[in-house]
């Protein structure tokens, strides 16, 4: 009797309609859904889909299967954020979250890139799912060739040639034997940074130029022989007489590489029995293998100790 306005029709009465006001809708002013137009005010508002009243903030990204823009797939009237799209559902997308990605906030991946795309909706579709879509290459392209190698899914392996999502420093996948310098012998136990020295005393290998590591032994190891094996200008490589297992004993074969074979009585004579010539080179004592006399008398004959070897013949 007091008037037609306001009506007695409140949230409670609304519950009897085909559209009970639940969750956040209970606090929404009537006029937001029933836009006042006098007698033309519409009460039987369409409500099959949330988008009957809510703008599609995702701009059609979920318009296709399996969602068909059915907002209820991911939202309730309680709130839009967070969605009802937890990690378990993410596991069924084209991009399951693994390793370090599990702890990354949703919005770090699903945000418009600034400033160019700031006006665009948060992206839930990526044209490329490879790591480089979101991560920049700190290696300055030095692995371009390796990254082009075709992986099991037929595409280029990209960063995954070496990395997983576990951690960047976790190089489980890098197989050093695929380089021209396989790690064999003692090199297997040598830490990466001993060969791949970070520039400017940095602590990580971020700015290392990996291919810059020398592949010849002498590039990393000092020659303790003071270049005595140089022959006609050509120094034989360390690898001529050594492998990566150990320096001593060497692989030097006295039979084929000298014209003084160690046969018979000399077979078990220690190297040091004949090679004693030590000279100082840059303040370091260096054992010189030449000259060593070849004549019997030089070591055995004169009755006096040999000048070169110090051996006193019998
Ligand atoms: C969130 C949106 C929303 C809000 C807020 C809302 N309504 Fe509704 N209302 C609807 C929808 C949708 C229908 C249509 C139900 C149907 O199809 O029968 C409806 C139906 C009605 C009807 C017709 C009921 C019937 O049985 O035919 C009345 C009257 C009404 N609303 C009044 C109100 C009043 C008064 C308020 C504020 C207290 C209110 N509504 C708030 C969405 C809303
Ligand atoms: C009949 C129209 C209508 C329908 C259908 C409808 N809403 Fe709403 N809803 C509104 C209006 C109007 C508001 C108030 C918006 C405002 O304050 O700007 C609102 C507010 C909300 C809010 C709280 C405010 C906010 O934006 O966070 C949530 C959450 C919400 N709706 C979820 C849903 C979901 C989920 C559906 C589908 C299941 C849905 N709504 C369907 C009209 C509707
Ligand atoms: C496949 C799942 C999915 C579907 C379908 C979906 N959304 Fe969302 N929506 C999300 C996710 C995820 C978020 C981000 C919320 C979060 O971080 O938890 C979001 C956020 C929102 C937000 C909040 C945005 C903000 O910036 O605060 C609104 C509003 C919203 N959605 C509306 C809709 C509407 C309307 C529809 C239907 C047209 C819809 N959504 C369909 C997943 C979905
Ligand atoms: C590390 C990055 C990353 C994080 C973190 C992440 N996502 Fe995603 N998300 C993606 C990628 C990539 C896709 C696949 C896009 C495609 O299919 O094109 C995706 C797809 C989606 C989709 C679309 C699903 C579909 O079927 O199309 C939704 C919804 C979504 N994510 C919601 C979330 C939510 C909610 C969170 C937080 C719980 C989250 N995402 C965290 C990268 C991420
Ligand atoms: C859709 C975007 C997206 C894609 C695709 C993506 N990431 Fe991420 N990733 C992120 C974001 C965002 C973070 C968190 C911020 C950061 O650390 O850069 C992250 C973090 C990481 C981290 C942890 C970094 C840290 O410091 O803890 C690793 C490792 C990682 N991603 C590896 C990968 C690998 C490997 C791929 C390719 C298989 C990949 N990501 C693809 C977005 C992505
Ligand atoms: C051929 C192998 C290889 C490929 C391919 C490769 N990386 Fe790496 N990456 C490494 C190595 C080795 C490290 C040093 C790891 C360590 O510190 O233990 C590294 C370190 C990193 C780091 C950590 C840097 C830091 O701060 O310490 C990031 C980030 C990274 N890589 C990203 C990428 C991305 C992105 C791609 C693809 C564009 C990629 N990597 C491709 C070998 C590779
Ligand atoms: C004993 C020395 C040594 C050690 C230890 C070593 N590397 Fe290397 N590495 C090399 C050399 C030499 C090359 C250069 C091969 C070439 O030029 O093809 C190389 C090449 C590489 C490359 C470049 C591959 C390419 O094709 O571009 C990567 C990446 C690499 N190493 C990573 C590592 C990692 C990670 C570790 C530790 C687990 C490691 N290396 C340990 C000597 C070493
Ligand atoms: C890219 C650098 C690099 C190259 C090339 C290289 N090495 Fe090494 N090597 C190292 C480093 C670093 C160590 C560990 C530190 C040390 O003992 O000097 C090592 C250790 C060794 C050791 C073990 C030393 C010990 O005392 O246990 C031997 C033997 C060895 N290398 C032999 C070789 C031979 C033979 C070659 C050539 C076929 C070679 N290395 C090429 C870097 C290199
Ligand atoms: C012509 C053969 C030959 C060449 C070439 C050669 N070495 Fe040797 N190296 C030897 C012999 C012989 C020994 C002594 C081994 C023993 O006592 O069993 C030796 C010993 C060593 C030792 C151990 C020294 C010690 O006192 O413990 C090191 C280190 C070594 N060589 C490094 C190198 C390096 C580095 C190169 C290349 C720059 C190289 N060698 C080239 C023959 C050679
Ligand atoms: C009985 C004496 C004797 C013994 C024992 C001996 N050598 Fe020699 N070695 C010689 C003589 C003599 C020469 C000089 C040959 C020449 O001038 O052509 C020589 C030459 C060498 C050279 C020089 C090769 C060059 O071309 O510069 C090396 C290296 C060498 N010996 C290593 C060894 C090693 C290693 C041992 C122990 C396994 C050893 N020798 C044991 C007598 C000996
Ligand atoms: C560079 C020095 C050197 C030259 C040259 C040399 N020897 Fe020897 N020879 C030795 C040394 C050192 C021993 C071991 C000494 C010892 O066992 O007392 C030895 C041992 C011997 C023995 C064994 C002696 C014993 O008591 O068991 C005979 C035999 C021998 N040499 C014969 C010769 C003959 C023959 C020649 C010439 C073809 C020759 N040596 C050249 C250094 C030399």
Asked if residue 208 has its Cβ within 6 Å of ligand 8, the reply is no
Poorest-pLDDT segment among 171-180, 216-225, 235-244 = 171-180
CA 115 / ligand 1 centre spacing (Å): 41
Residues 6+ apart with CB under 8 A from 41: 34, 35
Q: With 50 as the cut, is the pLDDT of residue 313 above it?
A: no
Instruction: Label residues 271-281 b or e (16+ Cβ within 10 Å = b).
Output: eeebeebeeee
Asked if residue 136 has its Cβ within 6 Å of ligand 5, the reply is no
pLDDT classification of 306: cutoffs 50, 70, 90: very low
Q: Ligand 7 pocket: which residues have CB below 6 Å?
A: 143, 146, 171, 174, 176, 179-181, 183, 187, 190, 192, 194-196, 210-211, 213, 215
pLDDT classification of 312: cutoffs 50, 70, 90: low
**Looking at ligand 4, which residue's alpha carbon is closest to its atom 15?**
125
Q: With 70 as the cut, is the pLDDT of residue 8 above it?
A: yes
pLDDT at residue number 187: 97
Asked if residue 195 has its Cβ within 6 Å of ligand 8, the reply is yes
pLDDT tens sequence across 41-81:
999 999 999 999 999 999 999 999 899 999 999 999 999 99
Q: With 70 as the cut, is the pLDDT of residue 232 above it?
A: no
Poorest-pLDDT segment among 24-38, 150-164, 175-189 = 150-164
Q: Is-cis flag, bond preceding 62, omega within 30?
A: no
Separation between Cα atoms, residue 143 and residue 139, nearest integer Å = 7
- 292 vs 117, which has greater pLDDT? 292
pLDDT at residue number 309: 54
> What mean pLDDT do residues 279-295 have?
94
- What is the number of the ligand 9 atom nearest to the C-alpha of 289? 12
The tokens describing 301, both together, are 């004959």
> What mean pLDDT do residues 111-135 have?
82
Are 310 and 273 spatial neighbours (Cβ–Cβ below 8 Å)? Answer: no
Poorest-pLDDT segment among 151-155, 163-167, 249-253, 296-300 = 151-155
Closest listed ligand to the CA of 207: 6
pLDDT classification of 311: cutoffs 50, 70, 90: low
Asked if residue 215 has its Cβ within 6 Å of ligand 8, the reply is yes
Distances (CA, A) of 198 to 118, 140, 161, 192: 38, 15, 21, 10
CA 250 / ligand 9 centre spacing (Å): 6
pLDDT at residue number 302: 65
Are 289 and 228 spatial neighbours (Cβ–Cβ below 8 Å)? Answer: yes
Q: Which of 239, 233, 251 is nearest to 214 (CA)?
A: 239
pLDDT at residue number 314: 42
Separation between Cα atoms, residue 243 and residue 37, nearest integer Å = 93
Asked if residue 250 has its Cβ within 6 Å of ligand 8, the reply is no
pLDDT at residue number 6: 84
> What mean pLDDT do residues 270-287 have?
95
């Amino acid at each position: 009797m007091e008037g037609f306005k306001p009506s007695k029709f409140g949230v409670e009465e609304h519950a009897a309609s085909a559209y009970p006001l639940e969750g956040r809708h209970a606090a929404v002013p009537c006029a937001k859904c029933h836009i006042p137009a006098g007698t033309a005010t519409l009460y039987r508002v369409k409500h099959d889909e949330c988008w009957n009243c809510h703008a599609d903030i995702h701009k059609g990204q979920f318009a296709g299967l399996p969602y068909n823009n059915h907002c209820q797939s991911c939202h309730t009237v309680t709130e839009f954020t967070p969605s009802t799209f937890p990690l378990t559902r993410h596991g069924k997308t084209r991009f399951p979250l693994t390793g370090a990605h599990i702890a990354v906030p949703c919005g770090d991946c699903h945000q418009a890139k600034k400033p160019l795309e700031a006006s665009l909706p948060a992206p839930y579709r990526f044209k490329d799912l490879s790591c480089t879509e979101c991560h920049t290459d700190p290696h300055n392209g030095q692995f371009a060739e390796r990254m082009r190698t075709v992986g099991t899914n037929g595409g280029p392996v990209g960063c995954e040639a070496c990395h997983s999502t576990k951690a960047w420093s976790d190089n489980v996948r890098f197989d050093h034997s695929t380089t021209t310098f396989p790690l064999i012998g003692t090199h297997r136990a040598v830490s990466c940074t001993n060969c791949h020295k970070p520039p400017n005393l940095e602590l990580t290998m971020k700015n290392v130029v990996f291919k810059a590591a020398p592949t010849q032994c002498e590039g990393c190891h000092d020659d303790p022989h003071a270049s005595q094996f140089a022959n006609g200008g050509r120094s034989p490589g360390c690898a001529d007489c050594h492998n990566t297992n150990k320096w001593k004993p060497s692989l030097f074969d006295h039979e084929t590489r000298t014209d003084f074979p160690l046969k018979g009585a000399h077979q078990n004579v220690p190297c040091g029995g004949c090679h004693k010539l030590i000279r100082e080179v840059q303040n370091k004592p260096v054992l010189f293998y030449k000259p060593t006399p070849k004549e019997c008398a030089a070591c055995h004959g004169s009755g006096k100790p040999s000048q070169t070897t110090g051996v006193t013949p019998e």
